[in-house]
Each structure stands twice: as structure tokens, then as C-alpha cells.
Structure 1
Amino acid sequence: MNSPKVASTNRPSYTGSGIALFSLGMVGATPGALDLLDRTGTNAAIILARHQRADFGSIGAEDVLANKYAIGNGGRILSAYLLGGESLWIVTEADRSSTTLLLPDEY
């Protein structure tokens, strides 16, 4: 997987409808992701809901377009959120069987 291009702003690149647009499947998180969520006091359910609503966080325009296409056509969906100055990735697999929260260096 190529690294997402992180936008220079913390504002969402695209905000969806407010409803879940795709299934997450089985949700898991790496030790680094769990540590980052804990250190920043971030509720994983809120970040996952943003991901499902097509609020992809701090990704570039090319990745937003790829995600929007993937939602309708079954591709992998990637979000990146800046938490306490660190990046947290969320990846939902193309078949929607699973979603993983991870740090970029854990991929």
C-alpha cells in the first residue's frame, strides 16, 4: 500500500452524509494504534464513525477520489487522522471483511 498523501490541514478533505456508507467488518487495532488512542484520549468509535461517513481525515485529494470510488465499487478505503501530532491510519479492506486501525510504521 502506498502511503497516503497527508493534507496540510486537519479539516476533513470530504464530509459525507452523516450515515454509514459501508460496513467495517471485523475491527482490529495494532498495539501502536491502541497506545496512540489512549495517549490522546481519543474514542476509537468516533474515529471509525468518521471513516464510515467518508470524513477521511487528513488525506490528499487523490486519495479522497480513490476512496469515493472504492465506496461504490468495492475497493480498499483508507483514512488518516492526526492525533496529538501523530498519524493514525484506518484501512477497510475491499471485501469489507475487516477494518484495521494502525500507525503508518506498523503497515
Structure 2
Amino acid sequence: MSKKPLFKLGQVVATVNALTFANQHQIDLLGLLQLHHIGDWGNLCSEDKDSNEEALISGGRIFSSYQYETDKIWIITEADRSLTTILLPIDY
């Protein structure tokens, strides 16, 4: 894992559900975004982590998942790096 940004985020957006959940649980979304940006993919299986590593080379979609008590927060950067979305699984 690097401490430098590994890819472009593009426009960053968040769903209302993600913002509400983060506010209720005092979660630092900018901190999570920074983790995603430097390659800390959160709670992913090795196959999904490998997919992210390949996406850094091939330009595919990058996915992170951070587990909290009652839910997960997902961060997805699109393959073309134009958009990064912070969301809950129910938003997908």
C-alpha cells in the first residue's frame, strides 16, 4: 500500500444514505476517501483486492468497502476515472 494517491478520483459524490449514515456514526468520509485513494481497499477478499490492483494498470473500476457496526460504506471509482461515488450497499 502506498501513501501517495494511486489514481485520479474525478468528481467525488456521495449518496444521501451514505452522508446520513456517516453523520449518525461520526465517520470521516474524507478520511475514507483518502484510504481508497492510496490503495487501502478496506474489508475486501483477496480476489477483489487483486482486481483493484489490476485496475490500477488496466484502467478498470476500483472498489473499496469499509465495515461499520451496522453497515458498510462503499467507495467506487469508475474505470474512466471521471467519477468516485461514496455509497451504502442499499444504494447500489
Normalising by the residue count of structure 1, what TM-score does the alignment of the two structures yield?
0.83
Find out whether 1:73 has 2:50 as its counterpart. Answer: no
Normalising by the residue count of structure 2, what TM-score does the alignment of the two structures yield?
0.95
2:3 to 10, 13, 18: 18
Higher helix fraction: Structure 1 or Structure 2? 2
- Number of equivalenced pairs: 92
State, as a whole percentage, how many aligned pairs show the same letter. Answer: 41
Which SS does the other structure have where 1:32 is aligned? helix
C-alpha deviations, 1:12-43, integer Å up to 9, x for none?
Answer: xxxx1111101110000011100111111111
Q: Give the ranges of 4+ consecutive aligned residues of structure 1 lying more than 6 Å apart after TM superposition.
A: none
Q: What root-mean-square deviation, in Å, do the aligned CA atoms of Structure 1 and Structure 2 show? A: 0.8
The unaligned stretches of length 5 or more in structure 2 are: none
The unaligned stretches of length 5 or more in structure 1 are: 1-15
Which SS does the other structure have where 1:68 is aligned? helix
Which SS does the other structure have where 1:46 is aligned? helix
Letter in 2 for 1:49: Q
C-alpha deviations, 1:42-78, integer Å up to 9, x for none?
Answer: 1111100000111000011100000000011100000
